[in-house]
Every structure is written in C-alpha cells, then in structure tokens.
Amino acid sequence: MTDIKQVRLPSGEMVPALGQGTWKMGESPKRRADEVKALRLGLDLGMTLIDTAEMYADGGSEEMVGEAIAGRRDEVFLVSKVWPGNASGQGTTAACERSLKRLRTDRLDLYLLHWPSRHPIADTVRAFEELKAAGKIRHWGVSNFDVAEMDDVLDVGGKAVAANQVLYNLTRRGIEFDLLPWQKSHGTPIMAYSPVEQGRLAHHPQLQRIAVAHKATPAQIALAFTLLRDDVITIPKATAEAHVRENRAAADIVLSGADIAALDAAFPPPKRKGELEMI
C-alpha cells in the first residue's frame, strides 16, 4: 500500500486527496455503530479528511462524526458546511457554534457555504473571516459554486477561499470545461462529491473491462479517475469496513494512457459550457 497522495491548499497546507464523505450517514441509530467503525478504519488507513454538514441528517451526521473522531481529533482534517438559509453574518457564526458542539470539537479545519445563498456573499465571507480570527475555523470555502459565483467571492475580498466542493465523476465532467481550469489558475482545489455517482458507476461495462485488468472493481476505477488530477480531493462515502478498504485501495491504482483514452471514449469530456450540476 502506497501513501495517499496529497493536495495543496492555497495556504500551502497539504491534505489527503482521498477522504471520507458522510452524506446520508447518521440517519439511523441502528447503523451508527457500523458508521463510526467505518470512519475510524478510514482514519487508520490514512483517509484523514472527513466531510460532513449541518444539513446531513439534521445534524445527526455531525454527531456521528463527533463520536468517530473522539480521542483522535488531531489526526483529522475536519470539514463541515453551513446551510445557505443560515448564512447571514450572525447566522453563520451561530451555525458554526452548533456544528462545533455536535462534533465535540473547538475548531473546524474547513468550513464551507453549502451552496449559493440568498444572503449576500460578502456577509458570509465576513463571518467566515471573523470565525477564522477567533480560532473557530482554520480555513473556509464554498460548495456548488460555478465560475461566476467564484468570481463574486473574489470580488468581495474572498481570496482566502480554500476549496470548492462540487459534483464530479465520470458521468458529471462538465466542470472540466471551465470551472476546473479556473480553480487551477487560482490555486484552489476541487472537492469531488458523489465520485461514484451514488454507486451507479459500479456496474458500467467499460469500467468493468478496465477493472478486470487492474484486479479491481468498477467503483475503484471510477474513484481512481477522480484522483488523476493533482488539484482534486475526492470524498466517497462508506458505511462498511470492506467498502472502506475498497475505497482506500483505489488510491493505489495507476491508470494507463490506454485506460484514460477508453474512459474518455465511454464518458466524453465536455465540449461546451453547461450548467453546474448538483445532487
């Protein structure tokens, strides 16, 4: 097993390119023990970036993550998100305090605006900066922002934006047309959510053919695709230990030029600008 490659944030800090997502986790008390165990195994395997949000399971995901990282907080690069309805100046601060309480921690490593809000972005950015100055968050960023919205962030002084979390996988490559190049030019990494298209890519015939050659699964090939770039962090979800190990092994897959050409043929990259996709 090789070390997971690292992605550089604008601050210069390095984080693992393969992390752990928690969307739809924390919803069932019956599954909680398995979810906690899965996240802890991921930490053991080097997947030390964990992403959650106040919206997930109405705070239940944050509570579950808080249990999983208890006693191990310093190992974790912890990411959460403020719900856009809460993203006013005072609302952002209050939401962050609630998230910290559920996560049982005194700081977030990265705090994101979950998607563009009706509240002025300048107010949200100001609140982020105040939280940063107070030591409540270490970095801040956004999620589901396209190029125009990223420009808006910069216009209000948001040069410290550390990441943009968006939908990105083999069937959702639209960001490659302009958003990925924009982010690269500004030194701001992408965080890819739903990198296996909520499991649907696990049965694609082209992925199956490539997977056989690598003694891997189609889902692992889909993950390996998102890890090709040096400015993308991918955050698959896993609620079972076997799935965690499978995700981790995807980081060791080296796709060949022929593999990449086959993937481009099966999942063509975009030729024009389209609307930013979201789930």
**Which residues carry out catalysis?**
56
| Dihedral of alpha carbons 233, 199, 238, 216, sign | negative
Residue 134 neighbours by CB distance under 10 Å: 11
Name 249's Cβ contacts closer than 8 Å, sequence gap at least 6.
1, 216, 220
Name 7's Cβ contacts closer than 8 Å, sequence gap at least 6.
14, 15, 16, 17, 189, 230, 231, 232, 233
Name 9's Cβ contacts closer than 8 Å, sequence gap at least 6.
15, 139, 162, 163, 189
Q: Is 145 helix (H, G, I), strand (E, B) or coil?
A: coil
The answer to whether residues 143 and 124 touch, using CB atoms and an 8 Å cutoff, is no
Q: What is d(CA 167, CA 200) in angstroms, rounded to the nearest whole number? A: 14
Residue 1 neighbours by CB distance under 10 Å: 9
